[in-house]
Amino acid sequence: MRVVFLGYGQLGATVLRGIAPHHEVLLVLTHRAEFSGLGEPDVERTAAELGLPVRFSATAGEPELHDELRRLAPEVIVSTNWRTRVPVEVLRIPEGGAINTHDALLPAYAGFGAVNWAIRNGEEETGLTVHYMAEELDTGPVIARARVKIGPHDTAGYVLERLLDEYVPVTLHALDRVRQGDRGEPQATTGASFYHRIGVADTRIDWRDKASVIYNLIRGQSDPFVNAWTTHRGLRLWVKAATRPPRAYGGTPGRIVKAEYGGVAVACGTHADGDDRGVVLLQVATETGPPVRAVDYFTTFGEYVH
């Protein structure tokens, strides 16, 4: 099929590289690498390697871009990790419509940070949904899905890698169905949810939370995403990795209890909530230093993280 591709970052580059041998990519539209401070030039580099024409846009809203797309007359638009709402005028240009590969099982987890939010919420499954794009973000009819299990100790980085394996097959499958005239199945209204972008303020640890909530936050914000963090002696401390202890560590939330189980146990929650086992920090990093073992960073016990 004659395709115009919209995408950004590693996810976008993965799909672009996967569909280019099978479809005629007329144009690649991406954001500048420095878009929103993300600094991800993956799509423009991939397009250059493949010898594909590239244009840059923040919103795909430029009238001259719309004119160019009409001249190109794509059969379908394919979007992966495009970071802004695509104007409805663009969605209407291709005869076969515009499709997007979203990193969740829609209608749940529409919006942003779907992998992170799913793990933070303790979900046991996530996946990908290829859907027709509508004016409202992530709401169009579903064409194809891929499912990925989330283990109780899986990190966001690990789940991302498993999802990356599914992006190309499910997108190519969806394009085959578009070619066959499949218009997809409307999304259900039950179970629908939308999540906002995750910033640094959204990943701070509250040691009054249950241990399960804190542990899910840490593994849900593992590298390569913005990490969970706390403060120690007034300075921000990123938590790179943690685990749950086999015995409970109760007490005042945020109290640094002792070195144990390969890390440093920190009390959290309350006895009344039934989930006061504490969390063992394994690896941390200051704002300016490299990641280090928590047992090497914390040399004094009885202090607090906040």
- Phi–psi pair at 41, nearest 5 degrees: -90, 15
Note the pLDDT of residue 248: 86
Termini Cα distance of the chain? 55
CATH of 2-194, one of 2.170.120.20, 3.40.50.170, 3.40.50.970, 3.40.50.720: 3.40.50.170
- Which pTM value belongs to this model? 0.92
Domain 200-297: CATH superfamily is Formyl transferase, C-terminal domain (3.10.25.10)
Domains of the chain by residue range: 2-194, 200-297
CA 15 to chain centre: 15
User: Are 6 and 30 a contacting pair, CB within 8 Å?
Assistant: yes
Q: Has residue 272 got a pLDDT over 70?
A: no
Nearest to 280 by CA among 252, 239, 251: 239
pLDDT, one tens digit per residue, over 165-176 is 999 999 999 999
Note the pLDDT of residue 99: 97
Q: Has residue 115 got a pLDDT over 70?
A: yes
Share of the chain above pLDDT 90, in %: 88
Q: In the structure, what pLDDT confidence band is assigned to residue 137 with cuts at 50, 70 and 90? A: confident
Tell me how crowded residue 208 is: count the other CB atoms within 10 A of its CB. 14
Return all residues near 89 (Cβ < 8 A) that are at least 6 apart: 66
Note the pLDDT of residue 72: 96
User: Are 110 and 133 a contacting pair, CB within 8 Å?
Assistant: no
User: Are 99 and 178 a contacting pair, CB within 8 Å?
Assistant: yes
Note the pLDDT of residue 81: 93
pLDDT, one tens digit per residue, over 198-250 is 999 999 999 999 999 999 999 999 999 999 999 999 999 999 999 999 888 88
User: Are 3 and 24 a contacting pair, CB within 8 Å?
Assistant: yes
Average pLDDT, rounded, for the chain = 94
Note the pLDDT of residue 104: 97
Rounded to 5°, angle at Cα 42 from 41 and 46? 120
Note the pLDDT of residue 273: 66
Note the pLDDT of residue 90: 94
